[in-house]
Structure 1
Amino acid sequence: MKAVIATTQGSPDVFKLVDLPKPVPCAGQVLIKVAASAVNPIDTKVRKAKLPMTPAEFPAVLQTDFAGVVEAVSPDVTQFSVGNEVYGFAGGFKGPNGDVSGALAEYIVADAALIALKPRTLDFRQAAALPLVATTAWLALHDKVKLDAKTKVLILGGTGGVGHVAVQLAKAAGAQVFAVVRSDKSAALAKELGATVCINLAQTDAKEVVDKYTDGKGFDVIFDTVGGPLLDAAFQMIRPAGDVITVVGAATHNLAPLYLRGANLHTVLVLIPIMFGQDREAQGLNLDAIRRLVDDGQIKPLLDPQRFSLGQVADAHRKLEAGQAAGKLVIDVSEIEA
């Protein structure tokens, strides 16, 4: 089968198209013919940096997001059958018992607990764009906090990979959704996705935002998908005893503003099931809940219009790292007949 390996760590030039043996599913696994795989920032980071989730050995098959069709199942797997269209997490990272191979291959074996049936209203490319970003947003806005019609939620990075799904999830939960964006174009998109108000923090400051939109009280929930100065601003905009959630916590921040409000700081790392083998079953259940919301018309992924073949993975990584992506970048891995 055709696959793309990262021969070593480094620039996108380390990717190489090769032939590898077709894998065989072990206990708890399914064999999947991969139609598409999306690129996430974490995929570029493990390619070039030694992180806790970086594979221990190279060459390695990277990227975790995929959508495809089940070709075979282990005898102990009962929730999936041959021919099922599925989406979810492959690997591409270090696991508790060794490296877990990723999705950049025509065929993969996937942990049955980390996948779900594909949304029927999406094609394979659209479905492949969702697993990491959608489950990250789900963990932040459903596991860490509870939303209702009275909740004022501020999404930092409202049109980014995680942020654009978070805006839709918050709206689906009935919350009042505010989004921090960087341009008028992004503001228009965030409002289309469900944000009531869009805010450009380059044109105003945290106090003005709190005074104008929360009567000086602060937001009930702030979900940070950007980090850096925006996370510091979140500590200034949260209400007393409110909840700040971040997916970008590997930095140094002054927690005093948070402490002086008695507010809570939560972090989300969606790769816990792969890295540590914990909460595996919950991952598939979350993907299934997201599938239902998608098919109900409450979530849609944003895809960059440019298409990449399996031999053009390096180009996709370069585009993402250059900040030129206008939506999720998706690799076409195999052709699958409808």
Structure 2
Amino acid sequence: MKALLCTHYGEPETLVYGDIDTPTPGDHQALVRVHAAGVNFPDTLIVQNKYQFKPPLPFAPGGECAGVVEAVGAKVKHLRPGDRVIAFTGWGAFAEYVLADAQALMPMPNGLDFVTASAFVLTYGTAYHALADRAALQSGETLLVLGASGGVGLAAIEIGKVLGARVIAAASTDDKLAICQQHGADELINYSRDDLKDRLKQLTEGRGVDVTFDPVGGAFTEVALRSAAWRGRHLIIGFANGEIPKIPANLTLLKGCSVVGVFWGDYTKREPKNNYRDLTTLFGWLQEDRLRPHIGERFPLERGAEALRALMDRRVSGKVVVTVVNE
């Protein structure tokens, strides 16, 4: 089978497109024929040996995909060949076939295409867990989304609006902000041009932001935390900026606010019933057209390294998808 392989750690351009043996599923595994794989920020880290999970070399990146079950292990009873599924693998999905723990597969809802399915669950699952569970975002509150034009940022905008929040989107260009507005953002801040702190003060009339959704890190984290309202919640999603900020702890005292960590991957393992409930809600909203995933660009498998680079360089708004089977 064809796969995009990390044979040694480095930048995406060091990945090798080539042939490897098609794996055979173990007793509790399923072999999935990959149709499309979502590209996520951890994929850029794992090939550089900067992620908490370190698979043995060589390996294919790609932790989220949609496809069709090809074969199942002897002890798998709830799946059969031909089932359309969404798979969470950690790595391995940038390939024609991927092995997955059978419990890490979920059936694709009827009417959903493979590209959308491959790009939906991680970003929307993360955003919903962050906003509804960790922050308990309430109708009428103000939500600030940093890095708002990315896949998880757009998901946060849409979910924030469904939950009844007033959403302020912050991004680095007017073109990115235009996409944020199309997905429901009420207010826009271009933080490459505007002073983020001053604009937040103006937009909230000095009251501050109730919830900040922060997948970026870097210098904007402290600025946003200083702009928190009383009892505000600052959600730490990730560090796409590449810099893990050092937060002055006295700000949480002065603001009476909270800094809240969000690790959706562990949440799915520790609280699978709650995660299943979340995804049921999200797929319901998707079928009602209350959520509209934005696929910024698609790359064929052999150009998967370009997909990672586009994400790293923040050239694409929404989700980037690697397509393996042309629909």
Q: Summarize the Cα distance change of 1:28–1:273 in structure 2 as closer, same or farther, 3 Å threshold.
A: farther
Q: Which amino acid aligns with 1:181?
A: A
> Does 1:85 pair with 2:63?
no
Which residue does 2:291 correspond to in 1? 299
Q: Which amino acid aligns with 2:67?
A: G
Q: Pick closer, same or farther for the CA change 1:247–1:68 going to 2, 3 Å.
A: same
CA distance in 1, matches of 2:284, 2:252: 36
Compute the displacement of 1:187 (Å): 2.6
> 2:100 is matched with which residue: 92, 97, 110?
110
What is the CA RMSD across the aligned residues, in angstroms?
Answer: 2.5
Match of 2:6 in 1: 6
The answer on 1:289 being equivalent to 2:281 is yes
Within 5 A, what are the aligned runs for 1:206-217? 206-210=197-201, 212-217=202-207
| 2:165 corresponds to | 175
| Cα deviations by residue, 1:305-332 (Å, 9 ceiling, x for unpaired) | 4x42222222222333333224322111
Which deviates more, 320-329 or 124-133?
A: 320-329
Shift of 1:222: 1.1
SS in 2 for 1:129: helix
| In 2: Cα distance, 1:26 partner to 1:143 partner | 35
Residues 1:60 and 1:286: Cα distance change in structure 2 (over 3 Å): farther
Q: Which residue of 1 aligns with 2:137?
A: 147
SS of alignment partner, residue 211 of structure 2: strand
8 Å contact from structure 1 (residues 114, 281) kept in 2: no
Aligned pair 1:320/2:319, yes or no?
Answer: no
Show the counterpart of 1:266.
260
Please name the residue that 1:98 is paired with.
none
With structure 2 as the length reference, what TM-score do the two structures score?
Answer: 0.88
Query: Which amino acid in 1 is paired with 2:314?
Result: G
**Structure 1 SS opposite 2:47:** helix
Alignment of 1:188-199 (within 5 A): 188-199=178-189
Percent identity over the alignment?
Answer: 31
1:162 maps to amino acid: V
**Mapped partners of 2:70, 2:144: distance in 1:** 42
Equivalent residue, structure 1, for 2:249: 255
Aligned-partner residue type, residue 267 of structure 1 = G
Deviations 1:206-239 (A, max 9, x none): 25523x3333222221111211121111211111
C-alpha separation in 2, matches of 1:36 and 1:82: 18
* Structural mapping, 1:203-242, within 5 Å: 203-210=194-201, 212-242=202-232
Residue 33 (structure 2) pairs with residue 41 (structure 1):
no
Shift of 1:125: 1.6
Shift of 1:6: 0.7
Which runs of no fewer than 5 residues in structure 1 stay unpaired? 93-101
C-alpha spacing 1:61/1:205, structure 2 compared with 1 (3 Å): closer
- By how many angstroms is 1:54 displaced? 2.9
Deviation at 1:154, TM superposition (A): 1.4
Equivalent residue of 1:324, what SS? coil
Relative to 1, partners in 2 of residues 1:330 and 1:59: Cα closer, same or farther, differing over 3 Å?
same
Counterpart Cα distance in 2 of 1:208 and 1:125: 37
Residue 200 to residue 143, structure 1, CA distance change in 2 (3 Å): same
Tell me what 1:67 maps to.
66
Aligned pair in 2 of structure 1 residues 41, 205: CA closer, same or farther (>3 Å)?
closer
Letter aligned with residue 97 of structure 2: Y
SS, match of residue 334 in structure 1:
coil
Tell me if the contact between 1:113 and 1:281 (Cα under 8 Å) persists in the aligned partners: no
User: In structure 2, do the counterparts of structure 1 residues 159 and 172 end up closer, same or farther at CA, with 3 Å as the change threshold?
Assistant: same
SS of aligned partner of 1:177: strand
**Secondary structure of 1:260's aligned partner:** helix
How has the CA–CA distance of structure 1 residues 273 and 327 changed in structure 2, closer, same or farther, with 3 Å as cutoff? same
- Name the CA shift for 1:182/1:166 in 2 (closer, same or farther; >3 Å): same
Q: Judging changes above 3 Å, is the alpha-carbon distance between structure 1 residues 7 and 283 closer, same or farther for their aligned structure 2 residues?
A: farther
Q: Secondary structure at the match of 1:72?
A: strand
Aligned length: 322
Q: Deviations over 1:60-96 (max 9, x none)?
A: 121112111123344654554433322241222xxxx
Contact conserved, 1:153 with 1:175, CA < 8 A, in 2?
A: yes
What amino acid is aligned across from residue 160 of structure 1 in structure 2?
G
